[in-house]
């Protein structure tokens, strides 16, 4: 029989949750899941392959296995299990890049300044690193590359869910505003074979996009153009829809109004804006969006929004919230038309 959990036990688990993040990070960094693809190995064998101290690694793996990540057998060999599979680099829904990015020292130290953010109402990232996150990343291209790769990796499931949730087939042309390497755009174009798309992002990101291969794949490349620029100045004109995934949550209301206003001016007369973000659930229930909201507070001093907050934001940019479409992922599509 399962004993009722004491409040103290539940609280201790939450207090020490960052131990778990570091354990997963180290497993991802060492590439442990990749060396287990061929079959189970002992900690000594893994340590030799990944370049680690065997007795320490054994303890790390034992702790991870106790959290359901890897599984030890009676012969002391560690196996890949369901959760550990997601740390493989070649897994179709790999979270390895995401783990490497989220627990990287620059994010870790920014989260360490959450208290500063809460006391002052300003970005913890800027407090720690001396510059807002996006300009800082431009100065650290290896981090920017890692960030884009990790966004693409978590996007695999999300993007398929977004493509399925909305009838893009009724349109001729869409723009993915701040579309990074084009994973979402390529997923949508693959699902709607007559649709054309424009991938729009900053010049240095668009340059990398061709190399990452999503928009150059033969089934979409002929229907996909790229354009670079600054969405605070303008976005490509004349499309039926302006898709923005993980964009509006990056900015304060004033900046969002500028981006949304630029989309409204650029879109076809019956065009629409499709904001793909978390829509924060009311009440006390667990909602991944409520945690991502704190990440936005720490990293950018920005936020996730409720439906009412979206409605108000759109109206200030001359748009009208038409509906919120849930997807099979944690994200929703918030559709707006000229108001």
Alpha carbon distance 245, 176 (integer Å): 8
Contact call for residue 274 and ligand SAM (CB under 6 A): no
- CB 141 to ligand SAM: min, Å: 12
| Shorter beta-carbon distance to ligand SAM: residue 34 or 293 | 293
Alpha carbon distance 43, 48 (integer Å): 9
Contact call for residue 178 and ligand SAM (CB under 6 A): yes
Contact call for residue 305 and ligand SAM (CB under 6 A): no
- CB 202 to ligand SAM: min, Å: 5
| Shorter beta-carbon distance to ligand SAM: residue 223 or 245 | 245
Considering CB under 6 A, how many residues would be counted as binding ligand SAM?
17
From 48-56, 163-171, 197-205, 319-327, give the range in contact with ligand SAM by CB under 6 A.
197-205
Q: Which of 263, 190, 179 is nearest to 222 (CA)?
A: 190
Q: One symbol per residue from 62 to 101: x for binding ligand SAM (CB under 6 A), - otherwise; what is it? A: ----------------------------------------
Contact call for residue 207 and ligand SAM (CB under 6 A): no
Q: Which of 44, 61, 40, 63 is nearest to 53 (CA)?
A: 44
Q: Which two tokens stand for residue 24?
A: 């997963």
Q: One symbol per residue from 122 to 161: x for binding ligand SAM (CB under 6 A), - otherwise; what is it? A: ------------x----------------x---x------
Catalytic residue flag (residue 181): no
DSSP state of 249: G
Residue 71 bridge partners (DSSP): 79
Alpha carbon distance 13, 24 (integer Å): 16
Alpha carbon distance 92, 226 (integer Å): 26
- DSSP H/E element including 297: helix 288-300
CB atoms within 10 A of CB 335: 19
Active site residues: 249
| Residues at the site binding ligand SAM, with contacts judged by CB under 6 A | 134, 151, 155, 178-180, 184, 201-202, 205, 230-232, 245-247, 250
């Amino acid at each position: 029989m399962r004993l009722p959990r004491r409040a103290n036990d539940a609280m201790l688990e939450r207090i020490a949750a960052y131990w778990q993040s570091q354990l997963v990070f180290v497993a991802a960094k060492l590439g442990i899941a990749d060396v287990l693809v061929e079959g189970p190995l002992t900690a000594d064998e893994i340590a030799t392959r990944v370049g680690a101290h065997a007795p320490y690694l054994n303890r790390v793996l034992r702790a991870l296995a106790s959290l359901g990540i890897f599984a030890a057998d009676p012969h002391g060999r560690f196996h890949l299990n369901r959760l550990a599979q997601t740390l493989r680099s070649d897994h179709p829904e790999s979270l390895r890049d995401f783990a490497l990015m989220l627990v990287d020292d620059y994010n870790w130290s920014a989260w360490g300044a959450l208290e500063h953010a809460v006391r002052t109402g300003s970005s913890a990232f800027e407090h720690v690193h001396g510059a807002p996150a996006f300009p800082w990343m431009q100065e650290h291209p290896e981090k920017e590359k890692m960030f884009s790769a990790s966004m693409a990796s978590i996007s695999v499931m999300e993007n398929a869910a977004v493509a399925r949730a909305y009838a893009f087939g009724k349109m001729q042309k869409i723009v993915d505003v701040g579309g990074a390497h084009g994973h979402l755009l390529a997923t949508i174009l693959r699902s709607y074979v007559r649709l054309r798309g424009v991938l729009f992002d900053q010049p240095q990101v668009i340059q990398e996009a061709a190399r990452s291969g999503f928009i150059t794949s033969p089934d979409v490349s002929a229907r996909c153009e790229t354009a670079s620029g600054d969405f605070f100045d303008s976005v490509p004109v004349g499309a039926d829809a302006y898709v923005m995934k993980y964009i509006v949550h990056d900015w304060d209301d004033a900046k969002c109004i500028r981006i949304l206003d630029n989309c409204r001016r650029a879109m076809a007369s019956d065009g629409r804006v499709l904001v793909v973000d978390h829509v924060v659930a009311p009440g006390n229930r667990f909602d991944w969006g409520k945690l991502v909201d704190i990440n936005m507070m720490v990293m950018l001093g920005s936020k996730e929004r409720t439906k009412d907050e979206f409605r108000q934001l759109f109206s200030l940019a001359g748009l009208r919230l038409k509906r919120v479409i849930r997807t099979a992922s944690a994200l929703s599509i918030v559709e707006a038309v000229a108001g």
